[in-house]
Amino acid sequence: MFQQTCIAPVNIAVIKYWGKRDEELILPINDSLSMTLSTDQMCAKTTASASSNFKENVMWLNGEKVAFDENPRSARCLKEIKRIASAKGQPKFPLNLKLHICSENNFPTAAGLASSAAGYACLVYTLACLYGVEDEELTQIARQGSGSACRSLDGGFVHWKKGDNPNGSDSLAHQVISPSSWSNMRVLILVVNDSKKKTSSTKGMRLCVETSELINHRAEKIVPQRIENITKAIKTKNFTDFAEITMKDSNQFHAIALDTFPPCIYMNDVSHSIAEFVHRYNELAGETKVAYTFDAGPNACLYLEEENVAGVVAGLKLAFPNDNAGNVEYVKGIPINGQ
Ligand code: 2P0
């Protein structure tokens, strides 16, 4: 039996990916940029085994058997890895051996907490190690599992370029700065609700591309400049500019989600109260100390520098006591991935 186990981190976008120009190859309509979190507290862990005793490819996700060959995304990731392994010659074992794959997330799946990003990044990386193709360009394969997964294969801040080629060969993710370049950056995750979201990201963005009159304006006229500006803010560690762009981009993503017909509503009243708290906190502090961003769910991700964590957490605990039903469940301090 041949076996490999790997872990992969979550990433949280500050410039959001929303909308595909090619559903099958998972090619986005705009660039996106994210920060990779430490694997200490939130990660996916995958073990893949190949054996001549296995009769079929089988996958378990968080203990539940899920489709593998019937799922076009996981099947495509495996096909691509095998294609590279075969092209390299001398595969470690016969490529026709069947696989058993076991994957677990140590955080809520599909609650807008980037579970598919960590999950597919982990699946692709584990398969790549199993078949001995670590040195290949893997972000292109992870992207075909779940778009945001391509940003989880590197640490620090990562930029996924939409690319222009119809075959996706230039739709790749690259590191902008290493984790150590902004080592006091932190993220707090505020879990407002960990139940499965109503509209999946895949479905939500498809509907959005089909019906929103604002989405193309965002993709063509807004995002390119934002990517340039936030890259500069990240490279110069300008927290004020970084925070403003991050919050505006989160708000714009939720605005185009609302412009979908029927609308996709991911934030709830508690989410909006958290955003309000952040603006008020910064106003009272007289400077920008914290930024929010919300993905396709109600949970909040707050970006802030280490020296402001204690103050912000104290304020949050006063504003959102854990014992109130419907309020924030818990708060985690998560450092940037140190790998
Ligand atoms: C992001 N999200 O940039 C944005 C912001 C959610 C909100 O990437 O269809 O699960 O598998 O490519 O990667 C969620 O999208 O969607 C996502 P698919 P994915 O993080």
Question: What separation in Å is there between the alpha carbon of 328 and the centre of ligand 1?
Answer: 23
User: Is the CB–ligand 1 distance for residue 146 below 6 Å?
Assistant: yes
Q: Could you tell me if the CB of 16 is within 6 A of ligand 1?
A: yes
Are both 213 and 294 inside the same structural domain? yes
- Same domain, yes or no, for 122 and 190? no
Ligand 1 site, residue 197, Cβ cutoff 6 A: no
* Cβ–ligand 1 contact at 148 (below 6 Å): yes
Do β-strands 58-61 and 64-66 pair in parallel, antiparallel, or remain unpaired?
A: antiparallel
- Tokens 């949970």 label which residue? 299
Mutate to test the pocket of ligand 1, among 12, 17, 218 (most ligand atoms within 8 A of CB): 17
Atom from ligand 1 closest to the CA of residue 266? 7
| One domain, residues 161 and 59 | yes
Taking only the tens place, the pLDDT of each residue in 142-161 is 999 999 999 999 999 999 99
Residues 126 and 241 grouped into a single domain: no
CA neighbours within 13 Å on the CB side: how many for 301?
29
**What CATH number did the domain enclosing 321 receive?**
3.30.70.890
Asked if residue 202 has its Cβ within 6 Å of ligand 1, the reply is yes
Angstrom distance (rounded) from CA 192 to CA 40: 21
Asked if residue 326 lies in contact with residue 320, where contact means CB atoms within 8 angstroms, the answer is no
Contact 153, 289 (CB under 8 A): no
**Are residue 21 and residue 143 in the same domain, yes or no?**
yes
Q: What are phi and psi of 259, to 5 degrees?
A: -80, -5
User: What is the span of the domain harbouring residue 131?
Assistant: 2-178
State the burial class of residue 30 (Cβ atoms within 10 Å of its Cβ: 0-12, 13-18, 19+): buried
Closest residue by Cα to residue 245 from 191, 195, 292, 300: 292
Exposed, middle or buried: residue 243 (CB in 10 Å: 0-12, 13-18, 19+)? Answer: buried
Residue 2 pLDDT: 94
Of 158, 178, 198, which marks where a domain is finished? 178
* pLDDT per residue as tens digits for the range 261-301: 999 999 999 999 999 999 999 999 999 999 999 999 999 99
Task: Kindly state if the Cβ of 246 falls inside 6 Å of ligand 1.
Answer: no
Indicate the burial class of 178 (C-beta count within 10 angstroms; 0-12, 13-18, 19 or more).
Answer: middle
Query: 237 CA to middle of ligand 1, Å?
Result: 26
Shared domain for 129 and 174, answered yes or no, is yes
What pLDDT is stored for residue 110 in this prediction? 46
Number of domains in the chain: 2
Mean predicted confidence (pLDDT) in 226-253: 98
Q: Is the peptide bond preceding residue 262 cis, with omega within 30 degrees of 0? A: yes
Query: Is the CB of residue 200 below 6 angstroms from any atom belonging to ligand 1?
Result: no
pTM higher than 0.90 for the full model?
yes
Would you state the pLDDT for residue 317? 87
207 and 138 share one domain:
no
Residue recorded with tokens 């929303």: 18
Q: Dump pLDDT digits (tens) for 214-226.
A: 999 999 999 999 9
Q: Is 62 helix (H, G, I), strand (E, B) or coil?
A: coil
Counting residues of the chain whose pLDDT is more than 70, the rounded percentage is: 91
Whether 156 and 15 share a structural domain: yes
Q: Looking at residue 326, what is its pLDDT? A: 44
* Residue 26, ligand 1, Cβ within 6 A: yes
CATH of the domain at 140: 3.30.230.10
Domain end (from 141, 159, 178)? 178
Q: Which tops the pLDDT comparison, 287 or 198?
A: 287
Q: Is 17 in the pocket of ligand 1 (CB under 6 A)?
A: yes
Tokens of 277: 């708290």
Residue 332 has pLDDT above 60, yes or no: no
**Residue 324 reports pLDDT greater than 50:** no
* pLDDT for residue 199: 82
Measured in Å, residue 317 CA sits from the centre of ligand 1 at 29
Which has the higher per-residue pLDDT, 254 or 339?
254
Tell me, in angstroms, the distance from the centre of ligand 1 to residue 300's CA: 15
Same domain as 144, residue 110: yes
Greater confidence, 194 or 70? 70
What is the per-residue pLDDT across 7-21, written as a single tens digit (0 to 9) for each? 999 999 999 999 999
Task: Check pLDDT > 50 for residue 325.
Answer: no
**Among 44-58, 187-201, 213-227, 279-293, whose mean pLDDT is lowest?**
187-201
45 pLDDT more than 90: yes
Ligand 1 centroid vs 135 CA: distance in angstroms? 26
Last residue of a domain, one of 111, 144, 178: 178
Q: Mind listing the pLDDT tens digit for each residue in 96-128?
A: 999 999 999 887 654 556 678 999 999 999 999
Identify whether residues 162 and 209 lie together within a single domain: no
Whether the CB of 296 sits within 6 Å of ligand 1: yes
